[in-house]
Amino acid sequence: MQVRSQALPDATVLQSWVLGYITSVNANLLTSSSDVTGGASPDKLFSWIDNYCAAHPLDSLSRASGALLDTFLAKEKLK
Protein backbone atom coordinates (compact mmCIF):
# COMPACT_ATOMS: atom_id res chain seq x y z
CA MET A 1 0.00 0.00 0.00
CA GLN A 2 2.80 2.36 0.85
CA VAL A 3 4.54 1.86 -2.49
CA ARG A 4 1.29 2.13 -4.49
CA SER A 5 0.16 5.28 -2.68
CA GLN A 6 3.36 7.10 -3.61
CA ALA A 7 3.23 6.13 -7.31
CA LEU A 8 6.86 5.10 -7.21
CA PRO A 9 8.41 3.11 -10.06
CA ASP A 10 8.44 0.17 -7.65
CA ALA A 11 4.63 0.20 -7.75
CA THR A 12 4.71 -0.77 -11.43
CA VAL A 13 7.11 -3.61 -10.69
CA LEU A 14 4.94 -4.94 -7.86
CA GLN A 15 1.75 -4.63 -9.89
CA SER A 16 3.41 -6.46 -12.77
CA TRP A 17 4.44 -9.21 -10.37
CA VAL A 18 0.84 -9.64 -9.18
CA LEU A 19 -0.47 -9.79 -12.75
CA GLY A 20 2.26 -12.30 -13.66
CA TYR A 21 1.30 -14.43 -10.67
CA ILE A 22 -2.32 -14.44 -11.82
CA THR A 23 -1.23 -15.29 -15.37
CA SER A 24 0.78 -18.22 -14.04
CA VAL A 25 -2.25 -19.56 -12.17
CA ASN A 26 -4.37 -19.16 -15.30
CA ALA A 27 -1.81 -21.04 -17.37
CA ASN A 28 -1.19 -23.87 -14.93
CA LEU A 29 -4.24 -24.53 -12.77
CA LEU A 30 -7.45 -23.71 -14.54
CA THR A 31 -9.54 -26.18 -16.46
CA SER A 32 -13.01 -24.65 -16.62
CA SER A 33 -12.18 -21.06 -17.58
CA SER A 34 -9.29 -19.13 -19.00
CA ASP A 35 -9.19 -16.41 -16.34
CA VAL A 36 -9.40 -17.08 -12.62
CA THR A 37 -10.43 -13.47 -12.04
CA GLY A 38 -13.40 -13.72 -14.37
CA GLY A 39 -12.15 -10.73 -16.32
CA ALA A 40 -11.80 -8.39 -13.34
CA SER A 41 -9.92 -5.22 -14.17
CA PRO A 42 -6.45 -4.65 -12.73
CA ASP A 43 -7.88 -1.69 -10.79
CA LYS A 44 -10.38 -4.02 -9.11
CA LEU A 45 -7.63 -6.54 -8.31
CA PHE A 46 -5.32 -3.92 -6.82
CA SER A 47 -8.19 -2.40 -4.86
CA TRP A 48 -8.89 -5.84 -3.35
CA ILE A 49 -5.21 -6.20 -2.46
CA ASP A 50 -5.14 -2.69 -0.95
CA ASN A 51 -8.10 -3.60 1.26
CA TYR A 52 -6.49 -6.90 2.25
CA CYS A 53 -3.22 -5.15 3.13
CA ALA A 54 -5.06 -2.54 5.19
CA ALA A 55 -6.64 -5.35 7.20
CA HIS A 56 -3.41 -7.42 7.35
CA PRO A 57 -0.54 -4.91 7.44
CA LEU A 58 2.10 -7.47 8.40
CA ASP A 59 1.36 -9.85 5.51
CA SER A 60 3.51 -9.88 2.39
CA LEU A 61 2.36 -9.03 -1.12
CA SER A 62 2.67 -12.69 -2.04
CA ARG A 63 0.33 -13.66 0.81
CA ALA A 64 -2.16 -10.99 -0.26
CA SER A 65 -1.98 -12.20 -3.86
CA GLY A 66 -2.54 -15.77 -2.72
CA ALA A 67 -5.56 -14.71 -0.69
CA LEU A 68 -6.94 -12.87 -3.73
CA LEU A 69 -6.58 -15.97 -5.87
CA ASP A 70 -8.08 -18.16 -3.16
CA THR A 71 -11.14 -15.92 -3.25
CA PHE A 72 -11.50 -16.29 -7.01
CA LEU A 73 -10.77 -20.04 -6.96
CA ALA A 74 -13.45 -20.54 -4.30
CA LYS A 75 -15.95 -18.76 -6.56
CA GLU A 76 -14.84 -20.97 -9.47
CA LYS A 77 -15.58 -24.13 -7.43
CA LEU A 78 -19.11 -22.89 -6.71
CA LYS A 79 -19.94 -22.80 -10.41
Question: pLDDT tens digit string along 13-52?
Answer: 889 999 999 999 888 876 666 788 888 999 999 999 999 9
Of 4-8, 32-36, 52-56, the range with the highest mean pLDDT is 52-56
> How much is the pLDDT for 40?
92
Contact residues for 42 (Cβ-Cβ < 8 A; gap 6+): 15, 19
> How much is the pLDDT for 34?
75
Contact of 15 with 22, CB cutoff 8 Å = no
* Mean pLDDT confidence for 53-72: 93
